[in-house]
Amino acid sequence: PYHQDLSLKINGKVKPWSIENPFLYDLDVRIVEKGKVVDSIKSYVGMRSIEIGDGPHGKQVLLNGEPVFQFGPLDQGYWPDSALTPPSDEAALFDLQYLKDIGCNFVRVHIKTHPRRWYYHADKLGLLIWQDLVCSRKFDKKITKQSAAQWENEQWRMMDALHNHPSIIMWIVFNESWGQYDTVRLTKVTKSMDPSRLVNGVSGWTDYAVGDIYDRHDYSFYPTFGSGTSTPGRASLVGECGGNNLYIEGHLWPSAEIKPRVVTGITEANRENWATIEDMEEQYPKYIQHLALLREQGMNGAVYTQITDVEHECNGWLTYDRKVSKIPAGKLNEIHSVLYQEEQLGSPILDTNRLNDWKPLKDPEEGKPQTASFNFNLDNIPKKPLAIRFSGHGLFKVFFNGELASELKVILTNSADAPMPLPVTAAILTDEAVQQLKAGRNEVTIEITPSNSRRTFDLKATKLKGEVLLGRFELLEMNQ
């Protein structure tokens, strides 16, 4: 076979491909023999860089040298009339254009690949793509030397086939523990094969402290992301979150087999489903605001589950048939805009790291809560909304002057060969909680039920089995 490398010079300043301006250079290649064109091809080229670098909030994903916060859906790529293949080019474009319309800037393609035409539309529209390698079965116990070789061969061929799409900025080697093996080697091999993109060794669950990304999955109402000293050089994000079902009668697949577990009187600490469209419209903006607070702590992105309902999974923005957007697209765009706004939190009204009279909590008995109280003074009741921020893990209850103000559950994910990054979370306080505060002296009590027998929360930086406990509780005024 004939092979020749060519270099082309771009006259003038390079126009980078970006989310806001997905500029593509037209490419026209011709083979000429004896003055006659014997073959030709037309294509396009996008010029962009993607890397991990220093930003205002620690290690961040940099697109063309600038920090980019990423928000978009898990896309399992199913259609009710054609399974894993888009039924038409219009159908593929519809999904991607919908994401632009609701204010998303990326898509995680989950354990599948799309037809090349789908990626072409992403290139043209300016959507970033995280592409999963297609893993084997969940908790696969039958990985052999032969099956591993076959899997690796298929993944390298997939990477080669999709290599030229500028929209693809990340390869995800494993999803959770699905078919996971030899993670360190395979992450390094993936990076060596394509250093032009980020590599996420494992999205969720067992982390091996390798690759460009530390990735937690958290489906709670107050999502967390991993922070701490065990992720040097890596950017942190939430690779899956959301997951709240809303069943729309007349748009279920197939309706006779759906048995909704509709929950009424849903609490933020124990949420399974949105009960009604009105419930979703009320609670979803609060959920997004909690995500937005984590951006300023260093969270680089979040993957909402998911773009559409998929058969029995009814947690999409769209119904499976794409006929109903559970919240109108324009309204979703408005809700999501808060994710891209900087400086939402002001200076702390209370920062327990600065308290002199705090005594570190003792190692707890398993399953028993730890409780600590302290006092602080307020000159006046703040007029702006308030938020709280935690570092730690377990079930947290916060009391202002003896009244419950907030409840958050923070769970550690698995880790291997590395300390576990400490989760960080934040929550906006309700008006009722703020009203529990008063001008003058206030008492704050924190009750923590640990998620295991280890000490989980310490308001002074303390090292414990290689893990730096950033233990911190803050009460902050929001810049609204």
**pLDDT of res. 18:** 97
Q: At 177, phi and psi to the nearest 5?
A: -105, 20
The answer to whether the Cα torsion of 261, 263, 269, 272 is positive or negative is: positive
pLDDT value of position 22: 98
CA–chain centroid gap for 324, Å, is: 24
pLDDT, tens only, 445-480: 888 776 654 444 444 444 444 443 445 678 888 886
> Which residues partner with 53 through β-bridges?
60
pLDDT of residue 471: 58
pLDDT digit string, tens, across residues 333-382: 999 999 998 878 888 888 776 655 545 455 555 566 777 788 888 988 88
What is the pLDDT at residue 465?
41
Tell me whether strands 50-55 and 36-45 are parallel, antiparallel or unpaired.
unpaired
Per-residue model confidence (pLDDT) at position 393: 66
Residues of the chain with pLDDT under 70: 1-2, 138-140, 227-231, 255-272, 353-368, 392-393, 410-422, 450-472, 480
The closest alpha carbon to 455, from 446, 465, 440, 445, belongs to 465
CA distance 169 to 136: 23
Cα–Cα distance list, 290 to 6, 178, 432 (Å): 50, 29, 17
Identify the pLDDT of residue 193: 96
Residue 434 backbone phi and psi in degrees, to 5: -65, -35
> Contact, 389 vs 476, CB < 8 A?
yes
What is the tens place of the pLDDT at every residue in 416-449? Answer: 555 556 677 888 898 999 999 999 999 988 887 7
- pLDDT at position 340, please? 93
SS (H, E, C) 230-241: CCCCCEEEEEEE
- Give residue 48's pLDDT: 97
pLDDT at 230: 53
